[in-house]
């Protein structure tokens, strides 16, 4: 699959930047917070995913399932081998 977009390089502080269009981001599975690896070549720049994005605390809490993860995070009494 090949998706092309013509973009303009912009000033961002002391650096240069481009915005990744939504269609390109979806096609490459880029998300906010996505770690990337940038390689400079003689004729351009290559941007590749480099791992998975780190979740914010809010995203982690939203994904928490009490049933799947054993209900409450802290119990009020010793259980299992602790009770012996």
Q: Where are the domains of the chain?
A: 10-83
Each residue's pLDDT tens digit, 26-79: 998 898 888 999 999 999 999 999 988 888 888 888 888 877 776 665 656 777
Q: How far apart are CA 16 and CA 23, in angstroms?
A: 22
Q: Across the chain, which distance is largest between two alpha carbons, in Å? A: 69
DSSP state at residue 34: -
Instruction: Give the CATH fold of the 10-83 domain.
Output: Pemi-like Protein 1; Chain: D (2.10.260)
pTM: 0.57
Tally of CB atoms within 10 A around 60 = 10
Q: How far apart are CA 6 and CA 21, in angstroms?
A: 10
């Amino acid at each position: 699959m090949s998706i092309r977009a013509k973009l303009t390089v912009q000033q961002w502080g002391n650096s240069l930047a481009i915005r990744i269009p939504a269609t390109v981001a979806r096609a490459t599975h880029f998300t906010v917070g996505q770690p990337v690896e940038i390689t400079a070549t003689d004729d351009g720049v290559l941007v590749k995913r480099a791992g998975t994005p780190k979740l914010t605390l809010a995203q982690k809490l939203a994904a928490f399932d009490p049933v799947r993860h054993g209900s409450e995070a802290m119990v009020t009494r010793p259980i299992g081998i602790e009770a012996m």
